[in-house]
Amino acid sequence: MKKLNYTEDLLRVIFFWIGIFFLVSGVLSFLGILKPAVNSGIQNPDMLGTVFSITGVLLCIISAALGIYTAKLDKLHLQLIENGTKVKGLVEKVYLQKYTKYRRQIPYRILYSFTYHDKVYYHKSRLVWEKPDLKKGDLITVYVNNLGKSTVYNCNEAV
């Protein structure tokens, strides 16, 4: 499986599997295998199955929406590398994104700034899974478009 590039990718995976769990729970409830608890507000197994199934479908829809969003971010990243203007950026901070963990790995993020058309922009890199060989104050190559959207192609190299 590919490495995740964005936190939204991780959320997409989480929402997908929780949605599948709710869908399976709904089917089990319809089949009479999963019964409501005694103190549950819903005592009808069919109603419980409906609630679980609707919740599962909604979570899967959210997962699909996040997938579309991250696909657009990936497309923008590739367009910026192909057609964007190369400018020099300055590394502001390199840090571990402690609360994001996937397959026992914790990604890094790079905060960087750059000046484009006399305006200073501050952005974050995509998730970086190998420790970047960068520190605060290093120059990096940033690809930017006229809207101020930017990306960093290789986060492991200073300029």
Q: pLDDT tens digits, the chain, 159 residues: what are they?
A: 577 888 899 999 999 999 999 999 999 998 888 777 777 777 778 888 899 999 999 999 999 999 999 999 999 999 999 998 999 999 999 999 888 888 888 999 999 999 988 889 999 999 988 888 888 999 999 999 888 788 887 665 554
Domain boundary among 81, 111, 134: 81
CA atoms within 13 A of residue 26's CA, in its CB half-sphere: 17
> Given this model, what pLDDT does residue 154 score?
66
pTM assigned to the model: 0.81
> Given this model, what pLDDT does residue 156 score?
56
Task: Indicate whether 64 and 13 sit together in one domain.
Answer: yes
Domain boundary among 66, 81, 96: 81
In angstroms, how far is CA 152 from the centroid of its own chain?
17
Task: Indicate whether 77 and 102 sit together in one domain.
Answer: no
Query: Nearest Cα to 116, choosing from 139, 90, 148?
Result: 148
Is 1 within the bounds of a domain?
no
Is 159 within the bounds of a domain?
no
Is 2 within the bounds of a domain?
no
Q: How many domains would you assign to the chain? A: 2
Task: Indicate whether 104 and 121 sit together in one domain.
Answer: yes
Q: Which domain holds residue 123?
A: 84-152
